[in-house]
Chain A
């Protein structure tokens, strides 16, 4: 252990006027950590599933994301092709391995590659763990079939979100992430994403699309 570490910890204890915590004191800290108790969850998310989806969509649109609703995963190729055409973008995507099952043969004009993002990729297609109604935020986590670069490198980011994965709060989304990673441990990266990238660095004028994506398009998938 480094001298700096020991000196800093000793300095903290000296300033706080007590020795290192042990016994009950330390148990209390550990219990607090294990508890994961939530604080205040805003009233605005006290809604039924339909209400949460509506709130999610309106909040996401409010931060310059676009949202399209489709019925099934098999509708993804056409929805992607339609969106790219409407934005005058090339009919090419790099998709997360998590979407490996998509059959692109229904849209023969579309090219799809699977993997992490490369410098020249124009559009990525990924999956979100959840959508958070409170602020129209997506939660995406990294893993072998969900590389993080897809969320940031290409200028256009299309995200597939299942209707049933729209939750009320960040805490709800995090509970699910924790539950899903009991064995594997917390993912290397978890990205809360609320709209496309933006800056106000030039005279406070908001410009959408800086280093991250210029466009964030959400495909909300599922039956009524």
Chain B
């Protein structure tokens, strides 16, 4: 049972609505000029970047191939440092474990840092339904919590919301402040959020964070953040709960550092995130602060079944969001259109891996196969190959005919609305229009001229797929 209702099966309708949403289109425009530009700069500044991608891929592959051994070693080291490890086979078990810890801690207020696996297991609704006053502490998560929306991006969850909308949301949500106060600038909004959340950090009985890495050699959890909310969450609460999926395991700190050199650069285009925090167990006898108890909830929820299959490569993903930041489809329709927790190219592969291709059959088609995602993926996940695999699977499940029909109706819909041919959506409309229009790659060639005419993002290094295709070096 998935805790979140998925609307991935209605992707074409979602996409259509997204393209028609003027406010969303304005918000998405910011993304395109932001992260990809900064990423390109910092990557150019690190000549070792490409070599590090190979190293990181090897580290993760090695870890996944020996995951059982590393998990057991990790668990033993957490226990040695005074922490507790809980194992959850699925979303429901994970939520039950977290709730039981909250209950034991007498928790009324729970602060929570951003965690994609918490979204995946539906933890938010689970806690809310049981009377917990849950407070999201990441600014973006806090904004969408107040707006009662799911995240639309895995690192900037409120990327779909404009400054004006946030101002309105804050004015409606925050009592006892001057109704005439200025909330038009991001500085005003940031300061108000800081003030509102400060009390909550100190009041919380339980603080929940995710983890970017779990380190086997020491039993440490690592969080990587910029705002400092994760650290306040885990330091000031009486109990710290880490919720992490199995594939966050990594053998040593040196291994984590190699991957960390890729993470922030790929993600936000920073050389290093502001805070990289390595945590080990609860407060020590002579510590002046820190949580009294430390729990880790290890979540499987479909990961073990991905091991040893063609989906294993996806378990290398470090959730940096480079793939969606560079994806023309994501850039045009935003994250909500994808209908579940993980949007963009990584979502188009991970979603069918986790909730089944029958529930997400359209997502592998939400691609122009331009290959940009794969080129920027720090972990060298073969995203296009995997999407193609799922595309074939969805045809086998009978999605092909339906999709072909939808593609044609989409095409006619867009063709009759010239306004939608804004530069940002051109590539995507082209991409969507080819949904299901033939299984052989040969049917793409007629679109080659449209591709180059409308392309509005940097060409992949070494030429476009189409150029390579024409040269005949198809693999």
Contact = CB atoms under 8 A, between A and B. Distances in A.
Contacts of B306: 15
Given A43-B48, A149-B235, A119 B89 contact: no
Interface stretch (B115-123, B186-194, B355-363): B186-194
Number of contact residues on A: which range applies? 35 or more
Nearest to B285: A144
A202 B254 contact: no
Contacts of A204: 30-31, 33-35, 156, 159
B279 interface: yes
Contact of B300 (A8, A26, A116, A211): A8
Interface stretch (B138-146, B204-212, B433-441): B138-146
Interface in A6-57: 7-9, 11-17, 20-21, 25-26, 29-30, 32-33, 35-40, 42-44
B139 A135 contact: no
Contacts of B33: 204
Nearest to B233: A211
A142 B76 CA distance: 22
A203 interface: yes
Given A9-B68, A21-B68, A32-B251, A212 B288 contact: no
Given A39-B52, A189-B280, A211 B137 contact: yes
Interface in A198-224: 198-205, 207, 209-213
B87 A4 contact: yes
A151 interface: yes
Given A39-B52, A40-B48, A201-B139, A9 B71 contact: yes
B254 A189 contact: no
B248 to A, nearest CB: 14
Given A144-B288, A152-B235, A204-B31, A119 B186 contact: no
A8 B275 CA distance: 32
Interface string A101-132: 00000000000000111010000000000000
Interface stretch (A70-78, A158-166, A180-188): A180-188
Nearest to B35: A204
B274 A201 contact: no
Interface in B119-178: 137-140, 143, 156-159, 162-163, 166
Contact of B227 (A115, A147, A210): A210
A147 B287 contact: yes
Contacts of B273: 194
A170 B257 contact: yes
A190 to B, nearest CB: 4
B313 interface: no
B169 to A, nearest CB: 11
A192 interface: yes
A35 B194 CA distance: 43
B198 A17 contact: no
Interface stretch (B215-223, B336-344, B397-405, B459-467): B215-223
A67 B434 CA distance: 55
Given A33-B252, A196-B274, A199-B190, 12 more contacts: A25-B69, A29-B69, A32-B252, A33-B216, A142-B290, A147-B289, A186-B218, A188-B284, A191-B231, A194-B273, A197-B275, A212-B231
20 contacts: A2-B87, A5-B87, A12-B246, A16-B67, A35-B252, A40-B52, A97-B288, A143-B286, A147-B287, A148-B231, A149-B236, A170-B257, A171-B254, A189-B280, A192-B272, A194-B272, A196-B274, A201-B157, A209-B194, A210-B190
